[in-house]
């Protein structure tokens, strides 16, 4: 699994539209939220933060969906995102993506993990990129 879990949510809390919010205390002390979606491809989780201006898509508990109930919507300027891959397909940031969290299915509970941290290190002019779970050079 990727980063540390930020919390759990019961499957039954994902509403009839297939969406729920998990509100948690972020490492910077702020209250943050993750949007949990049930899609045809399984559960997905997205940070409630728009890639356009870096502000929340909506208040911590939503509303997150557009009128059709098929896409996530940013309330600031109306960007629309596909729930399956988090990519903006309409609005001011086409092609930009929401930040994905990992969903671990544990029986009736969905455990939400923050994205894997990316570490950068430099020595003698070489910059190394290390992503946990992906092979690193020796």
Near ligand FES in 5-44, by CB under 6 A = none
Interaction between residue 94 and ligand FES (CB under 6 A): no
Interatomic CA distance for residues 51 and 74, integer angstroms: 10
Which of 58, 67, 12, 1 lies closest to 32, judged by CA? 58
Interaction between residue 53 and ligand FES (CB under 6 A): yes
* One-character DSSP codes across 22-46: EEEE-TTS-EEEEEEEEETTEEEEE
Q: Which of 91, 98, 103, 110: binder of ligand FES (CB under 6 A)?
A: 91
Nearer to ligand FES, 55 or 129 (CB): 55
Binding interface with ligand FES (CB under 6 A) = 50, 52-53, 55, 74, 76-77, 79, 91-92
């Amino acid at each position: 699994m990727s980063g540390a879990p930020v919390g759990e949510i019961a499957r039954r809390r994902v509403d009839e539209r297939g969406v729920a919010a998990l509100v948690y205390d972020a490492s910077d002390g702020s209250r943050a939220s993750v949007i949990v979606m049930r899609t045809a491809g399984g559960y997905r989780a997205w940070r409630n933060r728009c890639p356009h201006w870096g502000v929340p898509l909506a208040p911590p508990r939503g509303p997150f969906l557009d009128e059709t109930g098929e896409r996530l919507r940013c309330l600031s300027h109306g960007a629309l995102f596909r729930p399956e891959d988090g990519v903006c397909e309409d609005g001011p940031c086409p092609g930009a993506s929401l930040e994905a969290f990992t969903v671990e299915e544990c029986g009736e509970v969905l455990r939400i993990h923050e994205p894997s941290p990316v570490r950068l290190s430099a020595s003698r002019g070489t910059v190394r990129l290390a992503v946990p779970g992906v092979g690193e050079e020796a």
